């Protein structure tokens, strides 16, 4: 009777580990998107408040410190582009939930704005 308890514990442990792995695989992309949105909000607040405001100064410094390390932001940016592509594919498909073409125009303008900024923005002169 004692010998049958160990396999049950091992099976339960294996099930818990696999359930946790599946849960992390499903929720991790949303965490990446939340991180990218938080960085965008930080950048926007720094620009809107300006260097003269204490919170704007702090938000700007924090934004620069996080963006200095691309390995931190890379996965979030990749997930944002995957989400953009999926939204564009949905907008172009026949099952588009919005009947007008403005959703495609908005998604295209967003991508062009991001690419324009990446191509023509001043490069940081740091490390």
Q: What is the mean pLDDT of each run of 10 residues along the chain (127 residues)?
A: 65 88 88 88 93 93 89 86 87 84 88 85 61
Q: Which structural domain, as residue segments, surrounds residue 93? A: 73-121
pTM of this prediction?
A: 0.65
Instruction: Flag whether 89 is in a domain.
Output: yes
The residue assigned the tokens 């890379």 is 74
pLDDT of residue 3: 53
| CA atoms within 13 A of residue 67's CA, in its CB half-sphere | 16
Task: Give the pLDDT score at 33.
Answer: 86
For 38-71, b/e burial (b = at least 16 CB within 10 A) is ebeebbebbeebeeeeeebeebbeebeeeeeeee
Q: Could you tell me if residue 34 is inside a domain? A: no
Taking the alpha carbons at both ends of the chain, their separation in whole angstroms is 65
Domain-embedded: residue 104: yes
| 13 belongs to a structural domain | no
Total domain count, the chain = 1
């Amino acid at each position: 009777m004692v010998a049958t308890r160990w396999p049950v514990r091992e099976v339960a442990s294996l099930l818990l580990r696999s359930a946790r792995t599946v849960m992390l695989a499903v929720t991790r992309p949303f965490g990446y998107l939340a991180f990218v949105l938080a960085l965008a909000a930080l950048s926007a607040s720094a620009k809107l408040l300006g260097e003269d405001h204490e919170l704007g100064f702090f938000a700007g410094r924090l934004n620069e410190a996080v963006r200095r390390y691309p390995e931190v932001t890379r996965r979030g940016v990749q997930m944002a582009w995957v989400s953009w592509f999926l939204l564009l594919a949905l907008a172009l498909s026949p099952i588009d939930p919005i009947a007008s073409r403005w959703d495609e125009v908005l998604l295209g303008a967003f991508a062009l704005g991001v690419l324009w900024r990446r191509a023509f923005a001043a490069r940081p002169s740091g490390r």
